[in-house]
Amino acid sequence: MSEAAEPKTPRKLYLISYGCQMNDYDSAKMAEVLAASHGYERTQQPEEADLLLLNTCSIREKAQEKVFSELGRWREWKAAAPGRVIGVGGCVASQEGEALTARAPIVDIVFGPQTLHRLPELLDRTRQTQAPSIDISFPEIEKFDRLPEPKASGPSAYVSIMEGCSKYCTFCVVPYTRGAEVSRPLDDVLTECALLVAQGVRDITLLGQNVNAYRGKMGESRELCDLALLIRYLAQLPGLERIRFTTSHPAEFSDALIQAYADEPKLASFLHLPVQSGSDRILGMMKRGYTRAQFLDKIARVRAARPDLSLSSDFIVGFPTESDEDFVLTMNLIDEARFDCAFSFVYSPRPGTPAANLRDGVDADTKNRRLQMLQARIREYDDAFRAGLVGSRQRVLVEKAATRGGGQLAARLSNHRWVNFDAPESLIGQLVDVEITAAAANSLRGRLLTDRVCA
């Protein structure tokens, strides 16, 4: 762009993001795409912005309604200055499509999770035509080819390795809003990781709805790379110290991946493996593709491979017809598997999913009571897990100054827990050894043992 054509002050973007890690990743990409194309900068002050983006999520809450009431709040903002544009992306946009602009005419752009890279064109088109621009198609992997080079924003980063999900669990809207599973080619993933490591990234989380369905093309070969092999390749990357992944599906949790926990020290001691329920009857109705016994067998084998593992999961309580007996089976499963971390949700029917046609026979009080019991049990295992770390020596990656300040730094253990300790800010981005001295309510406290370790 010539100097004369450049705007005097950068254009400002106000971005509201709901939902999961996948959405946070997509939001960061939206900002990067618009920075590269139009010089947009993100702002926390909406009055400075001429572009408002809402990245929506429809996995659980009555998200559509939330989006429409949120949009209602932006009517005055839009009217207050000419040329202001409102875009809605993410899963609600994908589900609603044109219905969104019909019901909320203040919306100018509607884009889906797979078309966020087309935002610059959609924005130009809407500005030129003064009419809404809508693109919620699923153009496979084109999105990744069109994203600007990744920019590190600290020593840890997310790298998306696949999109979509083809599992069709009966309660879940993701396969409809994000499309079928598509993997990025291996070389693209390795290049993105190498670029991030060159910028100081030491800890990478491989991201996807179902990362152990990853099957990346390997150059011109007809062979496909799975997640376990991808981890092996990444472990060779000098400078990259920790590899994480989320989320994986128990049915596809392979022996090769369990083996990686046994002999690949860069693979972090953390596993998020959503189980949803401990009752085979409910698992069958959810179409999860595994039984309680099969799940427990996999857990036992990962624990044998990696004894200090932190184990996390997702649970849904109150799935249609869930009885007290079914719920007790879920609670027993928590005791058997010893999950020390979990995301748990009350079931909510999602439009268009098979389970939405089932009679939702569990009343709201029962659902909430079950949720609280489940969360209390997980908290007990979390407390015990963290208490068990006190006195241990841990290698941690220093990520930032602690939120509480006071000269403390915040670092992450291999098992995903945060520890705060006194140390100079020059250590940010480094691996250091600490002794865990106390387990507080939400974080651990530690004492610096060695500053900087050669990894």
Q: Which CA distances in Å does 438 have to 86, 196, 400, 421?
A: 47, 33, 20, 11
Q: Which of 33, 34, 116, 172 binds ligand SAH (CB under 6 A)?
A: 172
Q: Which residue has the tokens 């241990």?
A: 392
Considering only residues 168 to 207 of the shown chain, the ones binding ligand F3S according to CB under 6 A are 168-169, 172, 174-175
Count the residues of the shown chain that bind ligand F3S, applying the rule CB under 6 A: 10
Q: Please report whether residue 171 would count as binding ligand SAH according to CB under 6 A.
A: yes
Choice between 115 and 277, CB closer to ligand F3S: 277
Phi (first) and psi of residue 311, to 5 degrees: -115, 125
Choice between 285 and 398, CB closer to ligand F3S: 285
Q: Which of 15, 165, 182, 227 binds ligand F3S (CB under 6 A)?
A: 165
Q: Which CA distances in Å does 71 have to 16, 23, 35, 333?
A: 11, 19, 24, 42
Q: Which of 348, 366, 408, 443 binds ligand SAH (CB under 6 A)?
A: 348
DSSP string, 60-110: SS-HHHHHHHHHHTTHHHHHTSTT-EEEEEHHHHHHHTHHHHHH-TT--EE
Q: Please say whether the beta carbons of 290 and 278 come within 8 A.
A: no
Tokens of 69: 């009431």
**126 contact choice in ligand SAH, ligand F3S, none (CB below 5 to 8 Å, kind-dependent):** none
Q: Please report whether residue 249 would count as binding ligand F3S according to CB under 6 A.
A: yes
Binding-site residues, please?
A: 20, 57, 91, 165, 169, 172
Q: Please report whether residue 208 would count as binding ligand F3S according to CB under 6 A.
A: no
Phi (first) and psi of residue 399, to 5 degrees: -105, -35
**348 contact choice in ligand SAH, ligand F3S, none (CB below 5 to 8 Å, kind-dependent):** ligand SAH
Residue 438: helix, strand or coil by DSSP?
Answer: strand
Tokens of 124: 């130009």
Choice between 172 and 413, CB closer to ligand F3S: 172
CA 103 to chain CA mean position, Å = 30
**158 contact choice in ligand SAH, ligand F3S, none (CB below 5 to 8 Å, kind-dependent):** none
Considering only residues 263 to 322 of the shown chain, the ones binding ligand SAH according to CB under 6 A are 274, 276, 314, 316
Choice between 271 and 411, CB closer to ligand SAH: 271
Phi (first) and psi of residue 127, to 5 degrees: -70, -40
Binding-site residues for [4Fe-4S] cluster, please?
A: 20, 57, 91, 165, 169, 172
Choice between 172 and 374, CB closer to ligand F3S: 172
Q: Which residue has the tokens 């869930």?
A: 322
Choice between 177 and 430, CB closer to ligand F3S: 177
Q: Please report whether residue 59 would count as binding ligand SAH according to CB under 6 A.
A: yes
**20 contact choice in ligand SAH, ligand F3S, none (CB below 5 to 8 Å, kind-dependent):** ligand SAH
Q: Please report whether residue 371 would count as binding ligand SAH according to CB under 6 A.
A: no
Tokens of 379: 């908290």
Q: Please say whether the beta carbons of 116 and 33 come within 8 A.
A: yes
Task: Indicate the Cα dihedral angle 333, 338, 343, 346, nearest 10°.
Answer: 30
Choice between 352 and 391, CB closer to ligand SAH: 352
Closest CA to 430 of 405, 448, 407: 448
Q: How many CA atoms lie within 13 A of 300 on its CB side?
A: 8
Residues making contact with ligand SAH (CB under 6 A): 20, 59-60, 171-172, 174, 209-210, 247, 274, 276, 314, 316, 345, 347-348, 350
Residues making contact with ligand F3S (CB under 6 A): 165, 167-169, 172, 174-175, 209-210, 249
